[in-house]
Structure 1
């Protein structure tokens, strides 16, 4: 968040911005609302807590318009990318041992559990934020279930030539990354102050770079892990 130094407590600001983020409010509107709080505190000498009360409650009381739901645009490419990563790594391992790719019940269950975990987290962001430790424990349990299922449920659903699976998994990874990259300009939504034009441009460029880099993180991680599988195991 750009803007001059103010007497507003940093923790109050963070909670205020977080609540508006969870409400899907546009970054510019958040910046404008925060600037109004800062201006009041500067002019009056009051703290934000004394003037506006609890930050999350005040954020909700503003009833700022929410952005159209972008969950699908974020989730679908990510889920396709995760599935592509899982397929690619398992196919590379099969290719390394010169065996056909075996689609097992465990692999299907593992992919399903990972997809379910991502969807649950995305649809319950408030609970994830409010109960971080519990959310981490639940995530770890679901990951353990996915890994255990992959190891124990070895019943074969189908055997497929390995090379096409590598191509399919790689295509899913690249497709998800390209989709997220192309959508980056629309998805980058920094919180910016309406009184700092230079800062607005800087924050928008920084947010765009972060979004673009994030789009290619999964393919890069998959390439590194695939190389480790091939050369180490």
Structure 2
């Protein structure tokens, strides 16, 4: 990673350090709520946790990718000795790096809650991993759309649609017998259904990243 790419990565992280810190506090607060034996607090914690993850991803993509086009920052960046592929690499490293750190913290905290609280069934761990992997795949899709289209409007549309789709995905996943029958038990079962979900989501993530690099690598100008 050359000096210019490193500078762009650090610039994007520093630009968002305050809101990211706030989202982190929000996410940690949701984990505390998930530890409560009160059902209302538990479900409120779930909502806040999912919202914190979604907002973190949207914050990074909008402020570091699409806003650079609308605020005319991108022409300055592309005037530097940097190619579209290198620019893309800087954006992917900054966005995916920040989101992965936040995502892993939330996933790890969620696993601590599930396995550490007797009122929470251990079987929810499989469903939780599938759900959070889907959110990681959605983030990669949003990042890809933002970088490829360079459009603030299209990025917002995709964020909105995927947020709605996430709710549908939650109910759809829970309807599978291989998932549903173990969610309220203390058995952590990675059956064929669960593994298929995970493999599909990982392939979606890889496909989004590869497609982003391929299309960005073919761009010749930023006009």
- Structure 2 length-normalised TM: 0.36
- Structure 1 length-normalised TM: 0.35
- Larger fraction in helix: 2
Higher RCO (C-alpha 8 Å, min separation 6) = 1
| Structure with max Cα Rg | 1
